[in-house]
């Protein structure tokens, strides 16, 4: 029987000819990631190993991003713990404030994940790198510790669901609408313990930023990973995002699913039929389109996060906010995901647009996405957010409400002060 793309990557990293769904394997890792919340737990676990040390100082990435710049004394202590661990162990890929970004935007940008890699991260949205044709998945801190110590992780080989894409998006529709549409269709456990594999000629019509957004939210359908084939756009991205100081062309492997790869379900999606989609509180599966969205006044808009804080997201929001004002009584918070994106947005004049419109621009941080700081919601407040989770209390008070949407929908909503259809702009 053939293998899925994910299964081929896992087989190669386990040193096996082939694997099948359900099999338990141990795979070699190309990168192990942690942030300021999950790494301290892993670092304490590291003390318990009898054999000390890390497996490879170039294959660990530590990115303080959740409560950074330090939110309070406890967060500062967590960051200090990560900083000192990185220093003691000579970890090359530690990113301090000033060079950091939200981890899942930062790693691809720095060329730290390549097609065909196997990556674990102690953060559930580690699945983002599937956009590059890598196998990447979120794990907990103990797995991270074991990964840092041994360079290996155990996996149950997943079965897969296939999404065959065709056509291309209508104006003002983007990757966020596609993934919200899919989660609305299959539910928050629709791909539980499975891979989501995206194929078809429609893939070519998706920008890399769109693919990152789609893979990012695979976990929101319960998936282990969400993976795209490697095409010309991927290879161009990898070429233009080589690690600092590296010479020559990057080395990576392209894997393709076999024609007879087993899928537990196949969905055909015409991108042209996807319309702006909003996930209502309190689950990402509560997806609605504008033929079914009542008039809902809002208090806040957040444009940012590992889902939608990339340059094309900011451009999309700016194209709507340009020459317009954020509605009175609404706070609009824009957070570029990395320093590089920040600089790019500044050079392109996007900040002028945002600030003239009455929005604020923050330094890269996860901040409000997880109710940390920089935009926490009060009781009863409603927020349109380009983030990925609208769980109870995720952004603040337990009776606040989060509506997940694309940057275009978020910007249109900021202008109108209510959840608004971006196709009007």
Residue 101, Cβ neighbours under 10 Å: how many? 25
Q: Compute the least distance from the CB of residue 288 to ligand SF4, in Å.
A: 22
CA–CA separation, 144 vs 224, rounded Å?
16
Among 194, 213, 338, 388, binds ligand SF4 (CB under 6 A): 388
Residue in 348, 343, 363 with CA at minimum distance from that of residue 70: 363
Does residue 165 sit in helix, strand or coil? strand
Among 198, 307, 389, 405, binds another protein (CB under 8 A): 389
Q: Which does 87 bind (CB under 5 to 8 A by kind): another protein, ligand SF4, none?
A: none
Does residue 69 sit in helix, strand or coil? coil
The answer to the question of residue 176 lying near ligand SF4 (CB under 6 A) is no
CB of 113 closer than 8 Å to CB of 136: yes
DSSP class per residue in 288-301: EEGGG----B-SEE
Q: Which two tokens stand for residue 288?
A: 């609605």
Does residue 298 sit in helix, strand or coil? coil
The answer to the question of residue 366 lying near ligand SF4 (CB under 6 A) is yes
Q: Compute the least distance from the CB of residue 53 to another protein, in Å.
A: 12
Q: Compute the least distance from the CB of residue 295 to another protein, in Å.
A: 28
Q: Compute the least distance from the CB of residue 302 to another protein, in Å.
A: 15
Nearer Cβ to another protein (139/350): 139
Q: Which does 49 bind (CB under 5 to 8 A by kind): ligand SF4, another protein, none?
A: another protein
Q: Compute the least distance from the CB of residue 324 to ligand SF4, in Å.
A: 26
The answer to the question of residue 376 lying near ligand SF4 (CB under 6 A) is no
**Cα 394 versus chain centre, distance:** 17
Q: Which does 172 bind (CB under 5 to 8 A by kind): another protein, ligand SF4, none?
A: none
CA–CA separation, 137 vs 153, rounded Å?
11
Question: Measuring CA to CA, how many Å separate 80 from each of 235, 274, 353?
Answer: 37, 45, 36
The answer to the question of residue 122 lying near another protein (CB under 8 A) is yes
Q: Compute the least distance from the CB of residue 423 to ligand SF4, in Å.
A: 27
- Lookup result for tokens 């801190």: 141
CA–CA separation, 81 vs 198, rounded Å?
39
Site string for another protein, 276-315 (x = CB under 8 A): -------x--------------------------------
Nearer Cβ to another protein (143/197): 143
DSSP 8-state symbol, 297: B
Q: Which two tokens stand for residue 38?
A: 């999950």
Q: Which does 339 bind (CB under 5 to 8 A by kind): another protein, ligand SF4, none?
A: none
CA–CA separation, 61 vs 157, rounded Å?
25
Q: For residues 186-205, which are near another protein according to CB under 8 A?
A: 188-189, 192-193
Q: Which does 297 bind (CB under 5 to 8 A by kind): ligand SF4, another protein, none?
A: none
Among 13, 71, 114, 241, binds another protein (CB under 8 A): 71
Site string for another protein, 75-94 (x = CB under 8 A): x--x----------------
Q: Within 13 Å of residue 233, how many CA atoms lie on the same side as its CB?
A: 16
The answer to the question of residue 372 lying near another protein (CB under 8 A) is yes
CA–CA separation, 350 vs 277, rounded Å?
25
Among 3, 14, 86, 102, binds ligand SF4 (CB under 6 A): 102
The answer to the question of residue 154 lying near another protein (CB under 8 A) is yes
CB of 316 closer than 8 Å to CB of 286: no
The answer to the question of residue 305 lying near ligand SF4 (CB under 6 A) is yes
Does residue 399 sit in helix, strand or coil? coil
The answer to the question of residue 404 lying near ligand SF4 (CB under 6 A) is no
Q: Compute the least distance from the CB of residue 78 to another protein, in Å.
A: 7
Q: Is 253 exposed, middle or buried (0-12, 13-18, 19+ CB in 10 A)?
A: middle
Question: Measuring CA to CA, how many Å separate 369 from each of 71, 129, 282?
Answer: 14, 20, 14
- Lookup result for tokens 């899928």: 263
CA–CA separation, 138 vs 226, rounded Å?
12
Q: Compute the least distance from the CB of residue 344 to another protein, in Å.
A: 29
The answer to the question of residue 246 lying near another protein (CB under 8 A) is no
Q: Which two tokens stand for residue 348?
A: 């392109």
Size of the site for another protein (CB under 8 A): 51
Residues forming contacts to another protein in the complex (CB under 8 A) are 24, 37-38, 40-41, 44-45, 48-51, 66-67, 71-72, 74-75, 78, 121-124, 126, 138-143, 145-146, 149-150, 154, 188-189, 192-193, 219, 222, 224, 283, 370-372, 389, 391-394, 398
């Amino acid at each position: 029987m053939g293998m899925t793309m994910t299964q081929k990557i896992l087989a190669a990293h386990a040193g096996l000819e082939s694997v099948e769904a359900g099999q338990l394997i141990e795979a070699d890792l190309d990168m192990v990631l942690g942030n300021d919340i999950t790494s301290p737990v892993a670092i304490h676990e590291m003390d318990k190993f009898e054999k000390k040390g890390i497996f490879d100082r170039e294959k660990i990435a530590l990115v303080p991003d959740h409560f950074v710049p330090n939110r309070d004394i406890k967060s500062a202590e967590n960051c200090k713990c990560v900083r000192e661990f990185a220093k003691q162990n000579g970890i090359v890929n530690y990113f301090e404030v000033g060079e950091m970004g939200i981890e899942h935007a930062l790693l691809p940008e720095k060329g730290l994940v390549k097609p065909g890699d196997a990556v674990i991260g102690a953060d559930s949205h580690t699945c983002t790198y599937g956009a590059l044709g890598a196998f990447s998945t979120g794990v907990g801190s103990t797995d991270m510790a074991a990964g840092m110590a041994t360079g290996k992780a155990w996996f149950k080989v997943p079965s897969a669901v296939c999404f065959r894409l065709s056509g291309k998006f209508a104006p003002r529709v983007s990757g966020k609408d596609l993934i919200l549409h899919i989660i609305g269709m299959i539910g928050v456990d629709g791909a539980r313990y499975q891979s989501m594999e995206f194929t078809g000629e429609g893939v070519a019509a998706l920008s890399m930023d769109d693919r990152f957004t789609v893979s990012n939210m695979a976990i929101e359908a319960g998936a282990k990973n969400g993976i795209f084939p490697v095409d010309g756009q991927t290879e161009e991205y990898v070429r233009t995002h080589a690690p600092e100081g590296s010479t020559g062309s990057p080395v990576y492997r392209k894997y393709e699913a076999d024609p007879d790869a087993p899928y537990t379900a196949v969905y055909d999606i015409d991108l042209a039929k996807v319309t702006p989609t909003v996930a209502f509180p309190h689950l990402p599966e509560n997806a609605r389109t504008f033929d079914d969205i009542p008039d809902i006044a809002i208090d806040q808009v957040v444009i940012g996060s590992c889902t939608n804080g990339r340059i094309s997201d900011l451009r999309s929001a700016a194209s709507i906010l340009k020459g317009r004002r954020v509605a009175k009584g609404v706070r609009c918070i824009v957070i570029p995901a990395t320093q590089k994106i920040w600089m790019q947005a500044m050079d392109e004049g996007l900040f002028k647009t945002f600030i003239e419109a009455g929005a604020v621009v923050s330094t890269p941080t996860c901040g409000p996405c997880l109710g940390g700081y920089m935009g926490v919601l009060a009781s009863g407040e409603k927020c349109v957010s380009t983030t990925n989770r609208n769980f109870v209390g995720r952004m603040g008070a337990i009776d606040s409400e989060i509506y997940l949407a694309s940057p275009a929908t978020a910007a249109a909503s900021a202008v109108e002060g209510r959840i608004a259809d971006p196709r009007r702009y």
